[in-house]
Amino acid sequence: EFEHSNFKTPELYFGYKFAQGRNQLGSNEGFNPNNIVTYSEPNNLELHKFYPIGEWKNLEDSMEMVSNNGTIKLH
């Protein structure tokens, strides 16, 4: 399994092609390739993970916010 360093945030990938298997998306909703996912705000943030909030389309090399409001949290 891929492990991150505790000293600095690693390079992050928002597209499912590279991010799946790297344990970088912290949201419980996970990836749903080429579909829109509604991500809820998490109660806790884990180190070195990103958390989109709002509606995001999961693309191969990125995520596209499709809701009027949204944000990304990172710890």
pTM of the entire structure?
0.82
pLDDT of the residue at 45: 95
Which tens digits make up the pLDDT trace of 5-44?
566 777 888 898 888 778 889 999 999 999 999 999 999 9
Higher pLDDT, 52 or 23: 52
3-state helix, strand, coil in the chain (%, to 5): 5, 30, 65
Higher-pLDDT residue of 47 and 11 is: 47
pLDDT at 59 over 60: yes
Encode burial over 34-71: b for 16+ CB neighbours within 10 A, e otherwise.
Answer: eeebebeeeeeeeebbbbbbbbbebeeeebeeeeeeee
